[in-house]
């Protein structure tokens, strides 16, 4: 677990008791809490000043919320990964956070071991998404794409239906080999590398190589961004 101790965390929540509880749990597991913030604006400033490896971000906060802060941090401090940690198991918040650039989404009722594993995954460029959110993400994007194609005017909390895939992204998706597409589809279904290896009868190291190539070809910062691109492009369907 020596690699865990090098992971610096920024805790963002408007409730001091929650931040204190998280600090106690995470420091006991060897993580380094390098800073705290009580709202989105403060989180943006702290991210720029402290360059944390992972930011645990609440969604609902006064002033600038966690989704807006995530979007700003992804652009201003791309070296910091963001793990959304919230009590609200709502579809629109899950999609909006991931669409804003978060690398993971976890509920606050997660067990300490689950939270620690999610932090480690996000810190290494992997994705950490609640299984419930992963299973419903296809429904969310599929429904919004249908609305967009049908000209529906309604929108959810994340700002409406996702935009169409741009020509450059479409071209990048076209560069994927058949095997890389299979791996990307499995990623979109929420499978881990070991599960993908089992499904495709490959070694886990080979799967890691394919995942790396997929991210490189799509110019995606992590698995979540790659999956959202695949969903929007219709590469994954219900």
What are the tens digits of pLDDT across the range 171-196? 888 899 999 999 998 887 778 788 89
Q: Given this model, what pLDDT does residue 141 score?
A: 57
Domains of the chain: 4-131 (3.40.50.2300), 164-232 (1.10.10.10)
DSSP 154: -
Q: Given this model, what pLDDT does residue 10 score?
A: 98
Kindly state the tokens that stand for 231. 């969903």
Quick check: 9 and 55 in contact, CB under 8 A? yes
Q: Given this model, what pLDDT does residue 200 score?
A: 94
Quick check: 96 and 69 in contact, CB under 8 A? no
Residues of the chain with pLDDT under 70: 1-5, 88-91, 94, 127-165, 236-238
Kindly state the tokens that stand for 48. 């720029």
Give the whole-angstrom CA distance, residue 105 versus residue 98: 7
Q: Given this model, what pLDDT does residue 4 score?
A: 43
Per the confidence metrics, is the pTM higher than 0.75? no
Residues β-bridged to residue 190: none
Give the whole-angstrom CA distance, residue 168 versus residue 146: 22
């Amino acid at each position: 677990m020596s690699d865990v101790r090098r992971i610096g965390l920024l805790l963002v929540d408007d409730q001091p008791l929650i931040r204190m509880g998280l600090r106690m749990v995470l420091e006991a597991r060897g993580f380094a809490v390098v800073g705290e913030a009580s709202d989105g604006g403060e989180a943006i400033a702290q991210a720029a000043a402290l360059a944390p490896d992972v930011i645990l971000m609440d969604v609902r906060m006064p002033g600038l919320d966690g989704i807006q802060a995530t979007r700003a941090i992804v652009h201003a401090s791309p070296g910091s990964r963001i793990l959304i940690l919230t009590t609200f198991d709502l579809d629109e918040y899950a999609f909006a956070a991931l669409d804003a650039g978060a690398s993971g989404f976890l509920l606050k009722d997660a067990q300490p071991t689950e939270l620690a594993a999610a932090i480690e995954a996000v810190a290494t460029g992997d994705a950490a998404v609640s299984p419930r959110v992963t299973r419903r993400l296809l429904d969310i994007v599929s429904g919004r794409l249908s609305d967009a194609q049908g000209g529906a005017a309604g929108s959810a909390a994340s700002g409406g239906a996702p935009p169409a895939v741009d020509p450059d992204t479409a071209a990048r998706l076209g560069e994927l080999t058949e095997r890389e597409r299979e791996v990307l589809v499995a990623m979109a279904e929420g499978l881990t590398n070991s599960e993908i290896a089992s499904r495709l009868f490959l070694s886990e190291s080979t799967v890691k190589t394919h995942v790396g190539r997929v991210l490189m070809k799509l110019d995606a910062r992590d698995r979540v961004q790659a999956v959202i691109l695949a969903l929007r492009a219709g590469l994954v369907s219900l």
